[in-house]
Amino acid sequence: MIKIALVGNPNCGKTTLFNGLTGGNQYVGNWPGVTVEKKEGLLQGHKDVTIQDLPGIYSLSPYSLEEVIARGYLLQEHPDAIINIIDSTNIERNLYLTTQLLELGIPMVLALNMTDIIRKRGDVIDTCELAAKFGCAVVEISALNKEGILEAAEQAILLAQTKMVPKPLALFENKIEKVIGEIETIIAPQVVAGESRWYAVKLFERDQQIVKMLGLEPATTELIGKLVAASEDQEDDDAESIITAGRYGYIAQVINRIVHKAQAPGTLTVSDKIDRIVTNRILALPIFAFIMFCVYYISMSGVGALVTDWVNDEFFGEMVAGNLSAWMESAGCAEWLTGLVVEGIVGGVGAVLGFVPQMLILFLMLSILEDVGYMSRVAFIMDRIFRRFGLSGKSFIPMLVASGCGVPGIMASRTIENDRDRKMTIMTTTFIPCGAKMPIVALFAGALFDGSGLIATSAYFIGVAAVIISGIILKKTKMFAGDPAPFVMELPSYHMPYATNILRSTWERGSSFIIKAGTIILLSSIILWFLQSFGYVDGAWEMVEDNNGSVLAVLGNTIAPIFAPLGFGKWQAAVASITGLIAKENVVSTYGVLYGFAEVAEDGQEIWSNLAADFTQLSAYSFMIFNLLCAPCFAAIGAIRREMNNAKWTAFAVGYMCGFAYVMALIVYQFGLYFLEGHWSLGTVAAAFCLATLLYLLFRPAPEEAAEAIDMKKISWNE
């Protein structure tokens, strides 16, 4: 089996090339122990060639999780060949990674992507001269149009079979090259001959991970350290800067010889002209708001709503559930079996799958925006706002997507390179009210607030405030301390969306939701149906007609006292909150069942009078806050588990959200009672303590030692 690794900068067209080479022969998962997506597949027409899509990286320095993964794979797995994808429109910066890859001693093909754009501009790249300067094969491709991609793959296979290894380039001044040669001699016994150049350069850069990887003796590291220190004194610069300058100096010389531009320097491209408008400091946010309003109107209120209503009411409600119920009754099926299948399985799973049309339309439109290059601009626009409370601009995209559904919002956190920022985004994304939470808002707004639109508006402000508060608090803990990762994102040139990419992206997101949500909802719906349909009556286990005698009621009464300080201590409210973990829209349907209504509207209008009798406005608002901010539905928790790729982190995330929701609801209810009614109790004391703790966590200084620990440049050589 021949292994070929695809390596390149973010947004260089690597994923498009991977899809073009593998087609449907793909396997997608996560790298062991980390949250970064792992993709591999078989080359079309070749059963013995595996294509490995490595994370997009800018260098092989261990400054991001993606760089650590890519470097570890190349050093430990030793692929038979590398296809280095280069964005021809930004060739100078892309070649920086190329100079590092050449030092690994692995056969490599340079795939110059987006050459169709270069031709349209009238520019010319001398590929023969580039091949001569870098000592490896060069193939012009257009991954989007599938031009030259098979030629690049065949060239990589040939190089892998013949084991033609490119020679490392002499990139640096003679005196630096001499020092690197001395380091190669020193470490020769510990490394494979073809990789000695790469290890020597990384040791010159004072890469502590390489020191640990090679297990060098203290005397050896001290000797290397003296050689590097002497070079730094001679050059009056630090080692890493010396290497970086040498690489870019060589690249600049090559670029001057191989790139011939048709336009004069400084001429604005079409993309640049568009960006002057859409990234303008004043116009950027209004334009973005208008675009997203159109997206959500079409997917949630327009076409998406029409299709979803038909799927829920006609398909699952009448065609599936109605006909299935009639058929099972006519077939003489037991009452419990009919209830399990129709109410438990079809009703539970259908409630979630009914939203799939809306989600697919939303994913389709977001995929179009991503493919044309607009979404990367949005992250750039939002970075200056989000950075103020500890998050990167890339965190905004998951939160935006989560306003439709938390599952794809959590999945969208994959675009965030920094592991700390990614985890914090996952933990705060579902604070933004999703579509499934809006029935809860509509229910209580109608039942106790005369349908006030301010209640729905406040729900979004509550979510945004929760994100901001959490961002500030978490950034001041040792787990998340430090400034947000520097915002580095390639802004690709705008281009027409490509149908294959859009449909593939839409299906990947949609199918993942259907599989994950469907399986979790199926199991939880069956369990819920049994709990609310059975109980002990006169010591015998049987189906119950009155829900007050069900196992669910017993469990509800057990946990109800926990919610009493929040204003909703009845077992019905406790049960509704718990069933909301299955799917947030279940809160409304659960109340319908508990109040004796077989079917209720989305806003629960039939049960408004019952709720008005059980809740005050204050307790209703507290209930709403808790259910908006607590742990999301099972499907979203499953997505958190998949993205965190760690059970402890998942438990911590869920625990944090539930704890934060409880504290917020407690503060609102207890202080509301005090200011509105003058009521003072132990609950008020607890709320005051929680508020004081919250203010302390918000305004305390960040731990300096944690921030310093992540700055690798401050690590001394002998540490």
What does the pLDDT read at residue 708? 37
Tokens matching residue 434? 């999703």
pLDDT tens per residue across span 600-654: 555 556 567 777 888 888 998 999 999 899 988 877 888 888 778 788 889 999 9
How is the chain split into domains, by residue range? 2-162, 174-260, 284-438+449-488+501-509, 527-706
Tokens matching residue 499? 């149908």
Tell me if 440 sits within 8 A of 587, measured CB to CB.
yes
Is the pLDDT at 113 greater than 90? The verdict is yes
Q: Is 202 exposed, middle or buried (0-12, 13-18, 19+ CB in 10 A)?
A: buried
What does the pLDDT read at residue 713? 34
Tokens matching residue 17? 């090339």
Radius of gyration of the chain measured on its C-alpha atoms: 30
pLDDT tens per residue across span 55-84: 888 888 766 677 888 888 898 888 999 999
Tell me if 427 sits within 8 A of 474, measured CB to CB.
yes
pLDDT tens per residue across span 691-705: 999 999 888 876 654
Tell me if 242 sits within 8 A of 232, measured CB to CB.
yes
Is the pLDDT at 31 greater than 70? The verdict is no
Closest to 57 (Cα-Cα) out of 391, 412, 378, 417: 417
What does the pLDDT read at residue 687? 93
- Average of pLDDT values for 440-455? 77
pLDDT tens per residue across span 383-433: 777 777 667 677 777 777 777 677 777 877 776 767 788 888 888 888 888
Looking at per-residue confidence, does 121 or 544 come out higher?
Answer: 121
Kindly indicate the confidence band of residue 689, based on its pLDDT and cuts at 50, 70 and 90: very high
SS3 585: coil
Average pLDDT, the chain: 80
What does the pLDDT read at residue 602? 52
Tell me if 418 sits within 8 A of 430, measured CB to CB.
no
SS3 55: coil
CA dist., res. 653 & res. 655, Å (int) = 5
The dihedral over CA atoms of 100, 103, 105, 107, expressed in degrees to the nearest 10, equals 40
Is the pLDDT at 710 greater than 60? The verdict is no
Kindly indicate the confidence band of residue 717, based on its pLDDT and cuts at 50, 70 and 90: very low
What does the pLDDT read at residue 264? 66
Give the architecture (CATH level 2) of 174-260: Orthogonal Bundle (1.10)
What does the pLDDT read at residue 718? 33
Looking at per-residue confidence, does 139 or 584 come out higher?
Answer: 139
CA distances from 598 to 589, 602, 604 (A): 9, 13, 12
Looking at per-residue confidence, does 708 or 513 come out higher?
Answer: 513
What does the pLDDT read at residue 404? 65
The proportion of the chain whose per-residue pLDDT surpasses 70, expressed as a percent, equals: 78
What does the pLDDT read at residue 685? 93
pLDDT tens per residue across span 194-203: 788 888 999 9
Question: Which stretches of 534-602 are DSSP H helices?
Answer: 551-563, 571-579, 586-594
Please indicate whether the domains covering 2-162 and 174-260 agree at the CATH topology level: no
Count of CB atoms within 10 A of residue 715's CB? 13
CATH code reported for the domain at 2-162: 3.40.50.300
Total length of the chain = 719
- Average of pLDDT values for 373-392? 74
CA dist., res. 58 & res. 67, Å (int) = 8
The proportion of the chain whose per-residue pLDDT surpasses 90, expressed as a percent, equals: 22
Is the pLDDT at 210 greater than 80? The verdict is yes
Looking at per-residue confidence, does 301 or 506 come out higher?
Answer: 506
Which of 141-155, 520-534, 601-615, 689-703 tops mean pLDDT? 141-155
pLDDT tens per residue across span 116-133: 888 888 889 999 999 999
157-166, 480-489, 663-672: least confidently modelled range: 480-489
| pTM (two decimals) | 0.64
